[in-house]
Structure 1
Amino acid sequence: MRTVSEPDQPEQPPNERPTADSGSQRRTRAETAENRRPRQSAPVDNDSLGPAQRVAPTWTEPLAAELSKPFGGGLGRHAQIGRQWFWTPLRVILLLAVLLLASGWLLKAPCTQTYETGQGHQSVDWRQHRQYTALCYTDLIPRYEKGDLASDDAFPYKTSWVENRGTPQQQVRYMEYPVLTGLFQWVNAKFTDGWTSLAQYGLLPTSASSVVYFDISAFWLACAWLVTVWALTRLCRFRIWDAALAAISPLVFVHAFTNFDALATALATTGLLAWARRRVGLAGVLLGLGAATKLYPLLLLGPVLVLSLRAGRIREGLRCLIAALGSWLVVNLPIMVLFPRGWWEFFRLNNTRPADPDSLYNALMHYTGWAGFDGPLSHGEVPAVLNAVSFALLLTGCALIAWLGLSAPVRPRLAQLCFLVVAVFLLTNKVWSPQYSLWLVPLAVLAVPRWRLLISWMLVDAAVWAPRMYYFLGTSNKGLPEGWFLGAVLVRDAMVVVICALIVGEILRPGKDKVRRTLTADPHGGFLDGTRDRFVLPAPSLPDRLRIGRASSPVPSRPPRTS
C-alpha cells in the first residue's frame, strides 16, 4: 500500500518563503500574525477559502508579476484577501472574458458586411475573398446558407440538398454535425426568421439573414464560453486566477465564433466540475451531452475510468460512463430512428475525409513528396488505410496514457490525463480544424497552469490562423504557399508535444506539480481525492533523475479511505 506525506504549505511570495523552519513553526508564526491583525468590518466574499489557502499569481508566476507592475505591482504582504464585496476574482475574470469575446466578434465583423444585390436583397459581402484577406472567416455564415437551415420548412437530418449539382462530384448532403449542434443551429435559424419578420415592420434593425443568424449564434456561443470560464473558476478553487488564462486566451479571440466548439467546451468543463463535486451521475450526463455536440468530451471518460480503477472506485467510474451513454442516446436515438440517413452523415463525412490541411499527415506528404497511405483518391473515396493508421495510433496513445495512469509512482491528477488524451487525439487524427484547439484550453489551465508556457502556446496556435487564411487565398491571389502554413502547423504541434512532455514529467515527479502544492492532491478528483491506491501496475525501471520517493507526493486534503 502506498503511503503519502504531509501536505506542502501554500505558495508564498519569494521574499516570504521559509528556509529551514519546520511546518509547525511556520503555522505558529502565521497564527500569531493573524491574531495581531486588527479586526476588519469589511464584508467578505462568499468564497470560503482563507488567505493562507489562496495562491496569488503575482507571487508564483513571473509573467503575472511583470504584468501587475503598471497597476501598482503584485499583492503586498499585508494585503487583505477576500474582502472585496463586488470585484471578486470571479467577476473580474468574467469581465475579462466578456471583453475578449467582444474583441473576437469584432474580428469577425468584416465578414458580416453586406451589399445590395441586383434584386434589392442584402447579401454578405465576401467578394474579393474578403473572408481570407480580412482573417474573418467563420463557418457560421455558410452553414446558414445551406439548404437545411435557410428554408422555412427545413429540419436538420431530414432536409437534404444537392452539392456540386451537374458535376461528377454531385452528391446529396445532410446536416454534417452531431445532433445537439445541428439542433442548436436549427433553433438559431428559427430565431433568425422571427427577427427578420419583426424587422420588416420596423421593430428591429435589419440586415442580411445570414448576418442576423451569425449574431444570434455568436451570442449563445459567447454565453457558452462564459460558462466554461465560470466552471474553470470553480475547478481552480485554490488557484482561481489561473482561469484568467482561458478568459484572455488568444485562441478564444480568434476561434470563439469560427465554429460551434464553445458548446462542447462548456459541457465538458461543467462535467469535470460535477465530477469534482462528487456528482457522478450529473458529470456523466454533461459529458454525454458534450459528446452529442462534439465527440471529444467522450474521450474524458477514459481517464475517469482509469483513475477510478486505480483508486478502487470503479463503481463511480462506471456510473459516470453509463450516465454519459444514456444522455447521448436520449439525444441521438430519436434522430437515429426517424432520419437514419441524415444522422449517419456526420460519420460518413468523417470517414471519407482525406488528411486535413492542418494534420501531421498532410505536412509529411508536403515535405517528403509522399503520396500518402492510400495514394491518390477520387472524390468521395474512403482513405481506408489512413483511417486505420490514425485509429491505431490513437489506441496506442490511449493505452500508453492508461498505463501511465496505473503505474505512475503517485496517482496522476484527472486533468493531466484528460489533456494528454485529447492532445493525442488531435495529434494522431487526420483532421485538426483550427477551432479544435479550443478543446485544449480549459484542460491545459487545469493540467499545467504555467502562465508563460500556456500563453506562448496559445499565441503560436492562434497565429496559425493567418497563414492558413492566406494559404486558402491561393498564390494566384497573392496568398502564401502551402509550406509557410504547414511550417506554422508544425510549430504549433511541437508546442503541444512540449506541454504533453511537461505533464508526463510532473506525473513522474509530482513534487514539480504546482497544483499539488495546494492543500489537496487532486482538486478535480472528486471521489478519487484522498483515497488509497487499490490497483497499480508495476512501473518500469527509470533513470535516477526520474526516480521519486514515495513520500515526495503532497497528501490529499482528507485522510485516505480505509474501506
Structure 2
Amino acid sequence: MTPAERVIPTWTEPLATAASAPIGGPLGRHAAIGRHWFWTPLRVALLIAVIGLAIGWFGKAACVQQYYNEDSKKLELDWRSNRPFTAMCYSDIIPLYSAERLNEGGFPYKTSWIDDEGKPTAHVRYMEYPVLTGLFQWVNAKLADGWLAIAGAGWLPTGLAVTVFFDISAFWLALAWLVTIWAVTRTARRRPWDAALIAASPLLLVHAFTNFDTLATAFAATGILAWARKKPALAGVLLGLGGAAKLYPLFVLGPLLVLCLRAGRMRDWARTALAAIIAWAVVNLPIMLGYPRGWWEFFHRNSLRGADPDSLYNVVSQFTGWAGFDGRLGFGQTPVWLNAVSGLLFVVSCAIIAFIALQAPVRPRLAQLSFLVVAAFLLTNKVWSPQYSLWLVPLAVLAVPRWRILLAWMTLDALVWAPRMMFYLGDDKKGLPIDWFLSFVVLRDLAVLGLCVLVVYEIYHPARDLVRQGAGGVPLDDPAGGVLDGAPDRLTLTVTGFRRANAPAR
C-alpha cells in the first residue's frame, strides 16, 4: 500500500477536519505520508484505545471497591446504597465470580449447584456460558487464586478475590479489544484511520468490561482479516473459535456462503466452513462428551429466557399491555412461540439479505453483509444484552465508515446505559420509570435500522460506498474480500430467476 493510496481523514471527513484544528489543521497537500518512524495510524489508534480502556476500567472500578464490615469483621465489596446502579458501574464479571461458583475452585460444566435451594423454584445449575468463555472465566479464577497466594507472601498487592478476578479478566478483555483494532486496521489497509472510531467508541467506555464480549470481537475481526489475506482455512479456525466464545462470529459464514456462491468460489467457502466446524468441535467436544449436562446448560438456559427488557418484544409488551406470544409463563416454562417467532424472523431477515447479495448490481462487500446479518440478529432476537452492541462496532467501521454517522449511533447506544441503570435502581429508590429506558431502546434500534438502510443503499449505489472509491477515481471491488476481490460473478439473481455466467466456476 503506497502513501498515495491511503485515505486521509482530515481531507475526507468533516469530523476529522474539525478535530485536527487544535493540532494545526488538516494534513498539508505536500506532507510526507506514511514516513514517521513511530506514529503510524495503528499505533495512534492503539494509544487512543488504551486511554479509552483505562477510562472504561475506572468506570467499573467503583463496583470493586472494598470496605471493612464491622459486623462480619472482614473485607466486603462496597455495594451499599445500590452502588452498581447509582454509580452506573455494574459489570456481570463481578457477580458471576460467585454466581458461577468460580470462587469454589470447581471445574465449570462439571460443577453443579442448586439455585433457590429450599424454595419452590429450586433447580440445578451449571456454567451457563459457551465453552471458551466459560474456560476463560475459570482460568482467570485460577490466576486470581495464584495472585492471592503470592500476595500472601508479601510479593504483590492484595484484595478480595473477586476484585483480583475482575482486574485479571479486564486485562485480557482489554488486550482482546486491542487485537480487534489491530485486525480492523490491517483489513482496511487503505483506510487505517477508521480504526480510531473503534478505539474512541463511546460503547468501549461503557461496555468493554460489562461482560466477556471483546473475546468474540477479536476472533471475528481476525477471522475477517485472515479471509482478506486469502487464508480461508485460518479464517475458518478463527471464526470457529469465536463461535466457541459467543455465537455471532459464526454468522460471518452466511455472508461468505452467498458471496462465494455468486463468485463461484464455493471451494474456498467449504474450506472456511470445514475449518470453523473443526475448530469449534475441538473446543466443545471434550466438554460435550465429558460433561454433557453441563455443556448443554448454555442452550438450555437460553431456550428458557423470555423477552429481555431491551428487546423489541418487551417494548411492545410494556407499551401495549400485550402478554406476549406465549402469554404469562410460570417459572421454568419455555417460551416456545417467542423462540419460534424470533428464530423465524432472523431466518427471514437472512433470506432478504441473501436476495440483496445475489441481486445487487455489484457484488456487495463482506463487511456490508456481515453487519446486516449481525444487526438483523440483534433486532429480531429476544435478548439484546447491552454489551452485544460491541459486536457491531468493528463491522460498522468496515461496512460504512462515515465518521459522524457512526459516532452519533455509538453515542446514542452508549447513552442507553444511563436510563437502564436508573430503571434497575427502581422507582422506590428514586430511579426512572421503565418508559424512559424503553424510549432509549427504541431510539437505539431505530439508529441501527438506519445504518442498515444506509448499507443497503450503498450496496445498490456502489459509487456512494466510500470503501470502493479508489485512488484516482478508479472504483474498487472489495479490498477486504480476499479471493472474492476482483473475481467475476458466476451466478446472479435477476427478475426472471438465476443467471449463470459463461465462464466456468472454480
Q: TM-score, normalised by structure 1?
A: 0.87
Is 1:430 aligned to 2:382, yes or no? yes
Q: Distance in 2 between the 1:363 and 1:421 partners?
A: 22
**CA-to-partner distance for each residue in 1:218-250, whole Å, 9 max, x for gaps?**
000000000000001101100110010000000
Q: Distance in 2 between the 1:562 and 1:464 partners?
A: 48
3-state SS in 2 of match to 1:292: helix
Q: Which residue of 2 aligns with 1:39?
A: none
Q: 1:540 to 1:355 in 2, by over 3 A?
A: farther
Q: Distance in 2 between the 1:296 and 1:123 partners?
A: 36
Give how far 1:201 is off.
Answer: 1.6
Q: Which residue of 1 aligns with 2:88?
A: 135
**Residues 530 and 561, structure 1, Cα contact 8 Å, conserved in 2:** no
**CA-to-partner distance for each residue in 1:157-204, whole Å, 9 max, x for gaps?**
000121112222111111010000000000000000011111112111
Paired-residue identity, %: 62
Match of 1:177 among 99, 107, 129: 129
Q: 1:76 to 1:539 in 2, by over 3 A?
A: farther
> Which amino acid is the alignment partner of residue 104 of structure 2?
S
**Residues 141 and 214, structure 1, Cα contact 8 Å, conserved in 2:** yes
Q: Which residue of 1 aligns with 2:66?
A: 114
Q: Which residue of 2 aligns with 1:328?
A: 280
3-state SS in 2 of match to 1:537: strand
Q: Where do 1:484-563 residues align within 5 Å?
A: 484-518=436-470, 520-539=476-495
> Which amino acid is the alignment partner of residue 372 of structure 2?
L
**Residues 265 and 505, structure 2, Cα contact 8 Å, conserved in 1:** no
Give how far 1:100 is off.
Answer: 0.4
Give how far 1:395 is off.
Answer: 0.3
Give how far 1:147 is off.
Answer: 5.1
Aligned length: 496
Match of 2:393 among 441, 444, 450: 441
> Which amino acid is the alignment partner of residue 203 of structure 2?
L
Q: Where do 1:256-271 residues align within 5 Å?
A: 256-271=208-223
> Which amino acid is the alignment partner of residue 130 of structure 1?
R
Is 1:477 aligned to 2:426, yes or no? no
**CA-to-partner distance for each residue in 1:262-300, whole Å, 9 max, x for gaps?**
000000000000000011100000000000000001111
Q: 1:509 to 1:493 in 2, by over 3 A?
A: same
Query: Based on CA coordinates, which of the two structures has the bigger radius of gyration?
Result: 1
Match of 1:232 among 166, 184, 193: 184
Match of 2:111 among 141, 159, 174: 159
Q: Distance in 2 between the 1:333 and 1:281 partners?
A: 20
**CA-to-partner distance for each residue in 1:18-39, whole Å, 9 max, x for gaps?**
xxxxxxxxxxxxxxxxxxxxxx
**Residues 177 and 214, structure 2, Cα contact 8 Å, conserved in 1:** yes
Give how far 1:121 is off.
Answer: 2.7
> Which amino acid is the alignment partner of residue 494 of structure 2?
P
Q: Distance in 2 between the 1:132 and 1:169 partners?
A: 27
Is 1:451 aligned to 2:403, yes or no? yes
Give how far 1:116 is off.
Answer: 2.0
Q: Which residue of 2 aligns with 1:123?
A: 76
Q: Where do 1:207-356 residues align within 5 Å?
A: 207-356=159-308
**Residues 161 and 172, structure 1, Cα contact 8 Å, conserved in 2:** yes
3-state SS in 2 of match to 1:115: strand
3-state SS in 1 of match to 2:38: coil
Q: Distance in 1 between the 2:320 and 2:129 partners?
A: 33
Moved more, 167-176 or 269-278: 167-176
> Which amino acid is the alignment partner of residue 292 of structure 1?
A
**Residues 374 and 384, structure 1, Cα contact 8 Å, conserved in 2:** yes
Q: Distance in 2 between the 1:203 and 1:540 partners?
A: 74
**Residues 310 and 534, structure 1, Cα contact 8 Å, conserved in 2:** yes
**Residues 56 and 206, structure 2, Cα contact 8 Å, conserved in 1:** yes
Give how far 1:51 is off.
Answer: 2.5
Is 1:464 aligned to 2:416, yes or no? yes
> Which amino acid is the alignment partner of residue 125 of structure 1?
D
Q: Which residue of 2 aligns with 1:373?
A: 325
